[in-house]
C-alpha cells in the first residue's frame, strides 16, 4: 500500500512541478545585455530600463509587498539611497503586485525609490525570476546589477534581505574600482 502512495506522490511531482520548473526562462548571464522593459511605477508613470543608461541600476525582484522579508529588503535599500546616489546608481524594485499595492507599500514603509508593477509577469519571466507554484505566481528574490551600458554586471539568485543592500553596495565599489565600467 505504501508503495502505491509513494508512486502516486512521485507521479504528481513529475506532472505538476517539473514542467513548471523547466518553463522558467533563463536568468540573464553576467556580461549579457539586460532585457529592456517598460513598466508602471507606484507613481503611475512608465519606467524603462533605457531611461537609466549612463547609471548603474540595481534591479531587484521580490515576492510580495508588505511581507516581512520584502519590507526589510526595501527598508534597507531606502536607508542606503544616499550611498547609491554617490555611486551613480538607482534602485528599482519589481514584483507582480499592482501599482496600487506598490503605492500603499511605499506610503507605509516611507520608500522613495521606484517600485514597478509587472502584473503580466513578462519582465519577471524575462529575467528568469518568475516562480510558478500552480495557481500561485510570484517573483523570486533575485537582483541584477546592471552597468551604465546596459549589461548585467552581477546576478544574485540567492538573497538574504537583511544583508542584501550592503552586499550590492560592496559589489558596486569593487566594480567601479576595477574600472569595469566608468561611472
Catalytic residue numbers? 70
| N-to-C CA span, the chain | 65
Q: Is 27 helix (H, G, I), strand (E, B) or coil?
A: coil
Element (H, E) at 7: helix 2-23
Cβ atoms within 10 Å of 40's Cβ, excluding its own: 18
Q: How far is CA 97 from the centre of its chain?
A: 13
DSSP at 120 = T
Set of cell numbers at residue 149: 551600458
Helix (H, G, I), strand (E, B) or coil at 100: helix
> For the chain, what's the residue count?
183
Query: Which H/E stretch holds residue 137?
Result: strand 136-139
Q: How far is CA 164 from the centre of its chain?
A: 12
Tell how strand 130-133 and strand 136-139 pair up. Answer: antiparallel
Amino acid at each position: 500500500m505504501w508503495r502505491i502512495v509513494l508512486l502516486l506522490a512521485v507521479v504528481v511531482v513529475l506532472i505538476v512541478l517539473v514542467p513548471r520548473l523547466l518553463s522558467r526562462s533563463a536568468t540573464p548571464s553576467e556580461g549579457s545585455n539586460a532585457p529592456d522593459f517598460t513598466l508602471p511605477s507606484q507613481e503611475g508613470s512608465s519606467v524603462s530600463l533605457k531611461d537609466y543608461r549612463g547609471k548603474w541600476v540595481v534591479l531587484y525582484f521580490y515576492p510580495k509587498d508588505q511581507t516581512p522579508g520584502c519590507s526589510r529588503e526595501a527598508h534597507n535599500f531606502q536607508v542606503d539611497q544616499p550611498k547609491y546616489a554617490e555611486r551613480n546608481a538607482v534602485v528599482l524594485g519589481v514584483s507582480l503586485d499592482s501599482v496600487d499595492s506598490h503605492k500603499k507599500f511605499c506610503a507605509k514603509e516611507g520608500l522613495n525609490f521606484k517600485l514597478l508593477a509587472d502584473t503580466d509577469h513578462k519582465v519577471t519571466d524575462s529575467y528568469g525570476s518568475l516562480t510558478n507554484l500552480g495557481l500561485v505566481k510570484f517573483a523570486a528574490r533575485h537582483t541584477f546589477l546592471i552597468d551604465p551600458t546596459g549589461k548585467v554586471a552581477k546576478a544574485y539568485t540567492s538573497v538574504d534581505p537583511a544583508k542584501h543592500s550592503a552586499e550590492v553596495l560592496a559589489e558596486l565599489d569593487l566594480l567601479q574600482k576595477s574600472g569595469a565600467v566608468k561611472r
